[in-house]
Amino acid sequence: MNNKPGIFKRIFTAIWRVITFSRALIVNLVFFILLFAFIAVLSGSEEHITVPEKTALVLNLKGDVVEQKRQIDPMEAFLSEAMEQQEENPEILLSDIIEVIKKAKSDARVHILVMQLHGLNRTGLNKLQDIATAIEDFKTSGKKVIALGDQFSQDQYYLASTAHDIWLNPQGFMLLDGYSRYQTYFKSALEKLSINQHIFRVGTFKSAVEPFIRDDMSKAAKEANELWLNDLWSQYKDDVAKRRNFSVNNFDEDIDVLIKKFTEADGSFAHYALNNEWVDQLLSRQEMRNELIKLVGLNKKGDSYSSIGYKNYLTATNSPLAVNIEDNTELTIASTDKVAIIVAKGNILDGKQKSGTIGGDSTAQLLRKARNNDNVKAVVLRVDSPGGSAFASEIISQEVELLKQAGKPVVASMGTYAASGGYWISAPADLIYASPATITGSIGIFGMMMTFEDSLSKLGVYTDGVGTTDLSGFGPTQALTPGMAKLFQLSVNRGYQEFIQLVAKNRNMTEQQVDAVAQGRVWSGRKAKELGLVDELGNLDDAVLAAATLAELVEYDTLLVEKEQSPRSKILQQFFGQSASFMALLTGDFNEDTLALGITANSLTNTGNTQPLTQLMSKMKAELTQLNQFNDPQGRYTLCLACGVN
């Protein structure tokens, strides 16, 4: 008995030694990884990225194309990459894609442009149009553009249609199904759960709250959605048909016509695409490699064609050691006059928000920063937002007005969305530019709350008490009184009137004229111009030129005004950014993004292979999470939930 304490002590001592050793081992491993990474930073690891003398630039896009990336902790990103964990929702900057294509046009080392688009997720048509414009400009250099893949989704094919040749795997898949807008509706489910929803809105077409008060889409919403969806689909067909040199009637919208053609192709999607002139050749992956080897030669390993992925190309050409790819270019002194570009991307929320989301305070601060910068002579507000908080939208709008009062012209440039709150913050601009495919308008406002008194009563939970006023104790566990409901509706009515007045004042329209095209109705950018809600159709470059013209600038530079990183974040960003490249060198995966036609099963998830139930649950979760984020202090929202495209 007396030996038991000694035995336990020896056991626990041994266990503790194992734990101590394991802890020391892990710490040392992390230390040496960071040490190697630090050495890589000091030695300038970018110099290892070189552009081959005769090569293909591979435009292998993975993820969502965005105007501004959401903020991610640098250390977290580094550890994910080091552990070979795929980013859940990767994002690609639109500006990076366009910059790469522009540089490659005049780079003698780049002989062809290859598009591998299997990783590209759904992207707004306006962004696709901007990339397509850059590719068309690239083609004026006389260099060949080839699109290849095992399958093409509708968005992927839009870009592929810009190529001289489109190659599809003989076992590949391709089908263009048009644009649609379908939503999940919760009214009956909420009733079964005895959850009482209280809706306050203005606008016949303000359908943002319909999923909570209906089990189907209203006739008004169908009418409005069908109009702008048909406009976008018409633009898609016109663009593709022109590039592929066939009729817009070649889009098989009738199921009987499609089945007839599919039967003639013996049930093969690939042969259907070839017969329908969607693609030029059906080639296996190895046959594709062989054809590309003929054009640019072998890579260093000798197992595929010479290539460099767009990420590595961007790094190599941005490096201080990069070769100047412009012929006979003279160095010029940067102009002190600036046209500032401020990106407003994402939902509009109150307060300060991270990059990738619009914050009333944080975005207003960026506008104020541009106003206080003496070198900034004009501002372009790049808006890519379906809206959100009415209060936050107004805070941003006020800063736009202050810029104008300071004598600095403001041009709003609309991206994929500039609807509801996105239009609110655009309206005060001196000029509004939109893409023909921009989804805009949705001038309306709503408030919504749910109360759970009936749900709780079924569980035997009740709320009761006393207060000094009719307002005391109001909350989600009590029934909404008629008086409080009237109070909220009056507030929403006021918000709508303020929205109408804002637009009328800045668009040189009467309130009646604005109301006629408002009521929450959504428009395409092309239709919005006809209605006077937009001044010109064009992209970001057009908006920058217009801003410079308004400011009477002859020589100027652009200045991207972003949220400043803390010193810690800057150090981590640089440190772990360099470290990631070094880790790739150590693992022999340095050129992973050149993609020698290697396509994994995971890359197919964006084409509809995810389990339907998982997709449905993810969609419902995303919609409810989005609503839960909204934090307007008055509970008033100008949001276009109907703006999503399927």
Write a three-state SS string for 545-566: HHHHHHCCCCCCEEEECCCCCC
Measured from the Cβ of residue 473, the count of other Cβ atoms closer than 10 Å reads 14
Catalytic residue numbers read 206, 420
Q: What angle, rounded to 10 degrees, do the helices at 567-587 and 74-82 form?
A: 10
CA 465 to chain CA centroid, nearest Å = 48
Angle, alpha carbons 13-14-19 (nearest 5°): 95
Q: How far is CA 460 from CA 178, 197, 313, 453, 455, in A?
A: 50, 21, 64, 10, 9
DSSP-based three-state secondary structure for 221: helix
Task: Retrieve residue 515's tokens.
Answer: 């109301």
Task: Retrieve residue 434's tokens.
Answer: 């939109």
DSSP at 263: H
Cα(64)–Cα(610) distance, integer angstroms: 17
Sign of the Cα torsion 557, 558, 561, 562 reads: negative
- Structural contact between residues 293 and 305, judged by C-beta atoms closer than 8 angstroms: yes
Q: How far is CA 140 from CA 56, 102, 339, 381, in A?
A: 17, 11, 29, 31
Beta bridge partners of 200: 447
Question: Which class for 485: exposed (0-12), middle (13-18), buried (19 or more C-beta within 10 A)?
Answer: middle
- Strands (E) across 498-617 are located at 522-524, 536-537, 557-560
- Structural contact between residues 292 and 58, judged by C-beta atoms closer than 8 angstroms: no
CA 78 to chain CA centroid, nearest Å = 22
Angle, alpha carbons 528-344-631 (nearest 5°): 100
Buried b / exposed e over 542-562, threshold 16 CB at 10 Å, is bbbbbbbebbebeebeebebe
Kind and range of the H or E run holding 283: none
Q: What share of the chain is helix, strand, coil (3-state, %, to 5)?
A: 50, 20, 35
In this structure, the strands spanning 358-359 and 348-349 are: parallel
State phi, psi for 55 to the nearest 5 degrees: -150, 170
Buried b / exposed e over 395-407, threshold 16 CB at 10 Å, is bbbebbebbbeee
Place of tokens 């001038």: 443
Cα(589)–Cα(338) distance, integer angstroms: 40
DSSP-based three-state secondary structure for 430: coil
- Structural contact between residues 443 and 514, judged by C-beta atoms closer than 8 angstroms: yes
Sheet with 307-309, side-by-side order of all strands: 281-282, 165-174, 144-152, 110-116, 55-60, 307-309
